[in-house]
Amino acid sequence: MSKQPQIIVALDFDTVKVALDFVEPLSPTQCRLKVGNELFTRGGPDLVRRLVDLKFSVFLDLKFYDIPNTVAQACLAAADLGVWMVNVHALGGVAMMTAAQKALQPYGTKAPLLIAVTALTSYNDSEWQGLGFKQDINASVLHLAQLTQQAGLDGVVCSAQEVALLRAQFGPSFCLVTPGIRLEDNAHDDQQRVVTPQAALAAGSDYLVMGRSITRSPEPVAVLAKLNEAIDLRL
């Protein structure tokens, strides 16, 4: 078992009870946990604190995107919850991201990782350009990642399809978190830019966000064990 789990399980459940029941048999040595908009809206800070108290590394995935001061204060609130990672939208711009990064500086080594969302994995090129962007997704993600690094953040959320490009550009210390990870026999659901765990890791992903492949499995602990074994064999 890897000492630092690379799998982040997305707790995309519609009730707090279902989420906590799912988490109960899991171990913090197996995985980290992601709390997104749906579950946070239902469970709020109390749920996040409960997961942190259970010794899980929690990725608070609320994609903050607002004026710089508001985002900075939201990141402070996340840090006060004891989360391991929090994110903002890179589209908010350098000033917004810089404000968030500076707000967390007083926490020193206890500050959560701060990353920025580039382009959601639910977009394909046609939909992305339909929003008015002249560049394709790859070029846009690279540009947004450059802005993120300029603002001093720890890394980005991106599709695994862009990981090799970003790893070559930014080196090994820039954190790359990749959602849209599916096992080979899983449905893609609403994700467009989907990659298997093996391909994502080979490309250079640091952390794999996996939801339905694990949460909809009748044996999620067994699925996690197999995934972690495959990861350890690569080390």
Helix axis angle, 137-150 to 163-170, nearest 10°: 40
- pTM exceeds cut of 0.85: yes
pLDDT tens string 165-177: 999 999 999 999 9
How large a percentage of the chain has pLDDT more than 90? 76
Q: Per-residue pLDDT averaged across 50-64, rounded?
A: 98
Q: What angle do CA 191, 196, 201 make, to 5 degrees?
A: 120
Question: DSSP state, 186?
Answer: S
HSE, side-chain direction, 13 A CA sphere, residue 72? 18
Q: With 50 as the cut, is the pLDDT of residue 2 above it?
A: no
Structural domains of the chain, ranges and CATH numbers in brackets: 7-234 (3.20.20.70)
* Main-chain dihedrals φ then ψ at residue 72, nearest 5 degrees: -60, -45
DSSP for 26-93, please give it.
--TTT-EEEE-HHHHHHHHHHHHHHHHHTT--EEEEEEE-S-HHHHHHHHHHHHHTT-SEEEEEGGG-
Separate counts of helices (H) and strands (E) for the chain = 10, 8
Tokens representing 183 are 């096992």
Active-site residue identified among 34, 63, 102, 110: 63
Task: Reply yes or no on whether 63 is catalytic.
Answer: yes
Q: Per-residue pLDDT averaged across 67-87, rounded?
A: 98
Position 233 scores a pLDDT of 63
Q: With 50 as the cut, is the pLDDT of residue 186 above it?
A: no
pLDDT tens string 21-42: 999 999 999 999 999 999 999 9
